Structure 1
Amino acid sequence: MKMVKSLLELGGAYLVWLWLRQHKSIWYALAGAVVLFLYGMVPTLQPAHFGRVQAAYSGIFLLVALLWRWGIDKVRPDKFDLLGAGVALLGMLIIMYAPRSH
């Protein structure tokens, strides 16, 4: 579900970017607004508390953003991009799956 959220955020923002920066039709902006609204709905489907979901989502978002950059922008991630994404994913795993007493 976190991957879907990342794709919705990036996709919606990219549509708005195309409208503003590439002078595409207003329909791109409207489609981007709808996609970003859906992005805002995804956390409500998660069983964990909102703050934890958002914190964990950040690690996934970094990975998806790097893949987006590689696939859409054709810019291959370097070792520091990969290291940073790895650290973020490790942090996400700790946040979501660390044993807690409560």
Structure 2
Amino acid sequence: MTIARSLLLFVLAALAEIGGAWLVWQGWREHRGLWWVAAAVLALGAYGFVATFQPDPHFGRILAAYGGVFVAGSLACGVLVDGFRPDRWDVAGAVICLIGVAVIMYAPRG
């Protein structure tokens, strides 16, 4: 159950951080207004809190592993909201990152 909880928290963190970054992009770059940017601040703040619920007590490990989730999640977000079509190298890179997440977070430790 701990791995499932950890994975769910990574997904929630990715939704909050990537969503927050997208809201900034929309609010500022696409000139949708400061309310979008304000929503971004809330989403990015939520991202920071979600990470604190990870079962592993080491900040550096959590943040390093989350980096791989962020890479894969960013590509997926581009596909869903931007019409981005990743090539095989994008996909290979994302898979490598997710393997890194698994090694960093879930490898047996003595």
Q: TM-score, normalised by structure 2?
A: 0.87
* Pairing partner for 2:19 from 11, 26, 34: 11
1:41 and 2:49 equivalent? yes
CA offsets per residue over residues 66-93 of structure 1, 9 Å max, x none?
Answer: 1101111101111000000011111111
1:60 and 2:69 equivalent? yes
Matched letter for residue 75 of structure 1: F
* Pairing partner for 1:83 from 68, 85, 92: 92
Shift of 1:99: 2.0
For structure 2, list consecutive stretches of 5 or more residues without a partner in the other structure. 1-8
2:18 and 2:83 mapped to 1: Cα distance? Answer: 15
Matched letter for residue 34 of structure 1: L
Q: TM-score, normalised by structure 1?
A: 0.94
1:41 and 1:14 mapped to 2: Cα distance? Answer: 19
Aligned residues: 101
Identity of aligned residues (%): 44
1:38 and 1:94 mapped to 2: Cα distance? Answer: 26
- Runs of 4+ aligned residues of structure 1 deviating over 6 Å after TM superposition are none
CA RMSD of aligned residues (A): 0.9
2:17 and 2:104 mapped to 1: Cα distance? Answer: 21
* Pairing partner for 2:37 from 24, 29, 41: 29
Matched letter for residue 83 of structure 2: K
